[in-house]
Structure 1
């Protein structure tokens, strides 16, 4: 969900995402993240575009319509969980 959220805000790339998620307490290695991004791409949740940055190839990922749909569904469930657990309703 966190990956889809960030991809919905801007194009994301692996190392940048590792750093962002690290600020939230997640400790991901490239060996964990990149296969996850590839699976999300195969599932049609993200698209990938290679760009040259500082003379190096970098893969940028963007959310798809299916990814947006899944993110929105997850937000509904997260709201329900928040109401139950935090608000006690």
Structure 2
């Protein structure tokens, strides 16, 4: 599992990346990130919802209550500003990834 610091640093870009592909509700976001990370990233409600709230307050994400199959859920979707922020964050994470790859070389196997 990821350290708390790395989890905290990666939560925002992971949420924005997920919402760039589809709108979704909290539990579905948690479940999908866990699945996409092969169970290495496991968020609790207390991790996700404060970040979603901040993303909404900053205009990067918007929310809407919907009733689907008789269940009322708050759905989140990325905004244009969120997409622009995501592109900036992608570049920053790519720099970190490239730098670590250069430092560690290709001899390290992560499997």
TM-score normalized with structure 1 length: 0.89
**2:24 corresponds to which residue?**
12
RMSD of equivalent CA atoms: 1.3
Offset at residue 21 of structure 1 (A): 1.6
Which residues of structure 2 form unaligned runs of 5+? Answer: 1-12, 104-111
Query: In the aligned structure 1, how far is the partner of 2:41 from the partner of 2:54?
Result: 19
Offset at residue 32 of structure 1 (A): 2.4
- Larger relative CO (CA 8 A, sep 6+): 1 or 2? 1
Q: Deviations over 1:21-43 (max 9, x none)?
A: 21212221113212221111011
Q: How does 1:30-41 map to 2 (within 5 A)?
A: 30-41=45-56
Runs of at least 4 residues of structure 1 off by over 4 A?
none
TM-score normalized with structure 2 length: 0.73
Number of aligned positions between the proteins: 88
The structure number with the bigger radius of gyration is: 2
